[in-house]
Structure 1
Amino acid sequence: MKILVIGGTGLIGSKVVARLRAQGHDVTAASPSTGVNTQTGEGLDAAMTGVDTVVDVANSPSFAADDVMRFFTTAGRNIAAAEKKAGVSHHVALSIVGTDRKPGNAYFAAKDAQEHLIRESGVPYTIVRATQFLEFTGGIANEAGTGATIVVSTGGIQPISSEDVADAVAEAAMGEPRQGFTEIAGPEAFPMDELVRRYLRATGDPREVKGDPKAPYFGGVIGPDSLLPGPGAHLGKVGLEAWLASQSGVHAKS
């Protein structure tokens, strides 16, 4: 199978590319650095020549509300147009658990808009909705502040490792279009403040964590279940302690 991975040089994309190549597929990693730009459309038509499946795991370089909405909607339209020209038979996109619950977060709103474009494109598709990555726990902590005490939401979170995400996306790419979404999550759920507290302790960060149900999560207040998967979600293998043991403090200040 010939597969194009958009965002194929990033954290998830590079892992997906490696997995698909290991299974014997003809895989191209596409990104602006390889001459494929989803914002301008540059290189898309050429990259999709003869492609059976397109996997989109690209992410916006800016999380500002206008920027992130523009990134995902522009990319969505350009990718769909190129797929139709090339006769692509399967589009696989990585999205987020909770997009349809609209928790008041600009990033979630942009991903919801991206999903809408995918559903309306006419190209057979599979959407893989993942919970927050374990690798982004440091980012959650830093968004909450850099003082001696940070305030973090008590909303539920069930973080997943990038390795488990890559496994699920690669599996979806090798399968048939679902014409819907599948949810993936880590094996353990926590209140978000507990997750951040354990992460800081493990990485030697002295900040104290105070839990508050009204604390914003990247601009929006979340409920106990806003970011948790629904029944039937596929659970990854890598738990928090195993992931922390593998990090050696690398993400302590990420």
Structure 2
Amino acid sequence: MKILVLGGYGLIGDAVIGRLLRDGHQVTGLGRDVRDAGRRRPSVRWIAADMSKLLAAEDWLPVVAGMDAVVNAAGALQDGPRDRLDAVHRGSVVALVTACERAGVRCFAQISAIGADLSSANPFFRTKAQGDKAVASSSLEWTILRPGLVISPAAYGGTALLRALAAFPGFVPAVMPSHLIQTVSVTDVAEAVSLAVAGSLPPRLAVDLVEANARPLAEVLSALRAWLGLPPARVVPMPAILGRLAGAVADMLGMFGWRSPLRSAALAAVARGVTGDATAWNQVSDRPLQPLEATLADMPTNVQERWFARLWLAKPVIFAGLSLFWLVSGIIGLIRQEAAADILVSHGVSASLAHLSVLGGGVADILVGAAVVVRSLARRALLAMMAITLSYLAAATLLVPGLWLDPLGPLVKTIPALCLVLVALAVLDER
């Protein structure tokens, strides 16, 4: 079969593509940026497109032409500069369903979410439900799958956050640790999609994909900590106000393009409880979805998982530290221009060049310090930090080499800052 997978390089979408390829299907993937996906899965035909801009059936007709099935694994957590929930979850799906009907596509598998509800006050759950309604109202042979907390070898978003909390040194911090969670293996989700496109599930089926029993979030975190090979640690409940504060900060960072899983939409999902009903799946399948213990047993860990878990929480600290360092450095340089220029003049630099250097350096420091907190500018800002630092060291070595031996170490101390920039570049990618 020829199958189109939307969001094909996401956590669920990539697993679905892998399973469909093993089933022998011809797979086309669609997403906004497919360069990395093309390198990882060269046997897939990739289409670079933004679903939020494909809001008419005519936009989709060239994409779905010749397809036997479509799998929609695309989604976003919250509105932001890079995401528009209504467009991605509802508008584009309405247009896509119409295009599929016109093009004669037989099968449509929709990856929805536990808690999708037309009456929900939460935009994520409401728009997800609106997309589901468009699919369910169509003439297609559709399947709507609503996974619980998806556990996968890959990790970003909520699953990355849980790994990071589980790896916290000394204790495991958790907001709402008693709230109930039902997990599902990404392998089981991909299996369900495989059965749906093969016609092995009843047509027009909407079903939750969850393990049989719900468990408190604290138990999930403890299981992940053991899976990481770390010693047991007490799960310590965090005050609700701390969760709300973290959500507010994450929402603000979302305006700068950072897609933190701590945003208020994710916290609302946990507050609701990530739980569903496993009964419907068990009635149509001869194999129950595996519990968390079996899912983790199928995913052996090594040192790279521990590195990732520990670095994940360090990442915002690294970026915040770099931003503050460069902003404060630039501001102090501008406030104390005369004093900074006098240091250069005392080492033989002309007064005009000294003042120009201090002014230019201060402005440059402030610009890169501000730019590094904007996701779309972060990589360029980090590279600029490296270039500025190396230029600073080179110029100082040529003009005032004695600064290397200064007892306060103004040049020597820039080396650790340069190393921190290298670490930031190494952990910048989100997926």
> Normalized against structure 2, the TM-score is what?
0.50
Shift of 1:141: 7.2
Pick the aligned partner of 1:240 from 284, 287, 293: 293
Question: 1:79 and 2:96 equivalent?
Answer: yes
1:104 and 1:197, CA in 2 relative to 1: closer, same or farther beyond 3 A? farther
Question: 1:57 and 2:114 equivalent?
Answer: no
Rounded to whole Å, the distance in 2 between the matches of 1:212 and 1:154 is 13
Pick the aligned partner of 1:218 from 267, 290, 298: 267
Which residue of structure 1 lines up, in the alignment, with residue 215 of structure 2? 190
Rounded to whole Å, the distance in 1 between the matches of 2:237 and 2:186 is 27
Structure 2 residues not aligned, in runs of 5+? 35-46, 153-157, 245-265, 283-287, 313-431
Shift of 1:161: 1.5
Structure 1 residues not aligned, in runs of 5+? none
Which residue of structure 1 lines up, in the alignment, with residue 142 of structure 2? 125
Quick check: 1:73–1:113 contact (8 Å CA) kept in 2?
Answer: yes
1:24 and 1:141, CA in 2 relative to 1: closer, same or farther beyond 3 A? closer
Shift of 1:24: 2.4
What SS does the aligned partner of 1:219 have? helix
Question: 1:35 and 2:53 equivalent?
Answer: no
Q: Deviations over 1:137-164 (max 9, x none)?
A: 4435779xx9974322423212012112
Q: Which moved more, 1:7-16 or 1:134-143?
A: 134-143
Pick the aligned partner of 2:277 from 229, 233, 246: 229
Which residue of structure 1 lines up, in the alignment, with residue 161 of structure 2? 139
Q: Deviations over 1:138-197 (max 9, x none)?
A: 435779xx9974322423212012112111112111116621312222355311222123
What SS does the aligned partner of 1:24 have? coil
Rounded to whole Å, the distance in 1 between the matches of 2:161 and 2:182 is 16
Q: How does 1:56-205 map to 2 (within 5 A)?
A: 56-60=72-76, 62-64=77-79, 67-100=84-117, 105-135=122-152, 136-140=158-162, 149-175=173-199, 178-186=203-211, 188-200=213-225, 202-203=227-228, 204=230
Shift of 1:6: 1.3
Runs of 4+ in 1 over 6 A off after TM superposition: 211-216
Which residue of structure 1 lines up, in the alignment, with residue 261 of structure 2? none
Q: Which moved more, 1:208-217 or 1:98-107?
A: 208-217
Letter in 2 for 1:63: Q
Q: Kindly indicate which of the two structures has a greater share of residues assigned to helix.
A: 2
Quick check: 1:97–1:130 contact (8 Å CA) kept in 2?
Answer: yes
1:37 and 1:85, CA in 2 relative to 1: closer, same or farther beyond 3 A? farther
Q: Deviations over 1:17-42 (max 9, x none)?
A: 22222222222122233223322229
Q: Which moved more, 1:166-175 or 1:113-122?
A: 113-122
Give the number of the structure with larger relative contact order, counting CA–CA contacts within 8 Å between residues 6 or more apart.
1
Rounded to whole Å, the distance in 2 between the matches of 1:207 and 1:14 is 34
Larger radius of gyration: 2
What SS does the aligned partner of 1:228 have? coil
Once the two structures are aligned, what percentage of the paired residues are identical?
Answer: 24
Q: Kindly indicate which of the two structures has a greater share of residues assigned to strand.
A: 1
How many matched pairs? 251
Output the aligned Cα RMSD: 3.6
Question: 1:47 and 2:63 equivalent?
Answer: yes
